[in-house]
Amino acid sequence: MGHPLPAPAPGSFDALHAQPLVPRRSTAGLLLRSTRPEQWTKNLVVFAGLLFGGRLLDGGALGSAVAAFAVFCALSGTAYLVNDISDREADEHHPLKRHRPIAAGQLPVRTALAAAIVLGVGAMLAAVLIRPAFGAVAAAYVAVLLLYSAALKHLVIIDALTIAAGFVLRAVGGAVAVEVAISQWLLVCTTLLALFLAFSKRRHELTLLADAATGHRRILVEYSPYLLDQMIAVVTASTLIAYSVYATSAETAARLGTSRLGLTIPFVLYGIFRYLYLVHQKRGGGSPAALLVADRPLLVCVALWAISVAVILYSPFGR
């Protein structure tokens, strides 16, 4: 009589069924994973108004900014749930996205939809409580994300501009939440940087999926690596010029009370060039948030930029 085969360990490969065995996850864990907490770093732009508006040391304003950040995390998580529901069939054929809980069949669609409704409604109520004006910005953000998921992601260039609009609304929301004036330069730099990230992401999708790219995302048929490289070059130069002009202008010096913000330009230069290096040489850029966390030089650069801005704006050194 043969010996019984030992049970495969969790996460091991069952040769009999030719499928990897993965440990079961709780519904709560699957829902959290589907809201993509690793992407929440995109919402850090909410703190731009607090930082450049001179209210970083104001405890009340800091609390409002943190609450606004939490609201945008909840709203972006809602959008990810809705997007994964609508894209589940296409995601099943993507080498990376097929492992998402909804595409993999681990999380039922009805459960994900119910969670999205509860999370979205709760976030909107919280936004109104922070400030009614902030609630209006949050509502506009939700509308943009839903329009993107329903139709705008299928329109060439408009898809990238819509992504940029989401970043701008985050920045505007952060300024409204702490009641500071919205700088036009902040909106320009945020728009350009968001376009840079969006076009880089499209390029990564094209190179990763190759001939199967258009089958996964129809809009990719309208793009080519050459076209995306041209647009990336335009927004890269525009971003660097816009930030440099903002940091060194007399208007900025008068408004912020310091003429030393130009000292932060090297961090912006290195950060953008490092990102381009990762996109072209390391084939990164598919997830800007994940890339920021995974690449230590880029993470250190962003941290040093934020620290240097804070030191210049809030210490005697900047005067």
What gap in Å lies between CA 78 and CA 120, rounded to an integer?
6
Q: Residue 166: what pLDDT?
A: 93
Provide CB contacts within 8 A for 272, sequence distance 6+: 196, 236, 239, 240
Cβ pair 181, 175 in contact under 8 A: yes
Say how many C-beta atoms besides its own lie within 10 A of residue 210's C-beta.
7
pLDDT tens-digit series, residues 38-80: 888 889 999 999 999 989 999 999 999 999 999 999 999 998 8
pLDDT tens-digit series, residues 129-167: 999 999 999 999 999 988 988 889 889 999 999 999 999
Q: Which residue has the tokens 């994300």?
A: 145
State the average pLDDT for the chain.
86
What gap in Å lies between CA 227 and CA 78, rounded to an integer?
32
Q: Residue 95: what pLDDT?
A: 72
Mean pLDDT of 24-45: 85
HSE, side-chain direction, 13 A CA sphere, residue 311: 11
pLDDT tens-digit series, residues 263-275: 999 999 999 999 9
Provide CB contacts within 8 A for 30, sequence distance 6+: 101, 106, 107
> Does position 23 have pLDDT exceeding 60, yes or no?
no
Q: Which residue has the tokens 């001939």?
A: 211
pLDDT tens-digit series, residues 276-318: 999 888 877 667 877 888 899 999 999 999 999 999 999 887 6
Using DSSP's 3-state secondary structure scheme, residue 105 falls into: coil
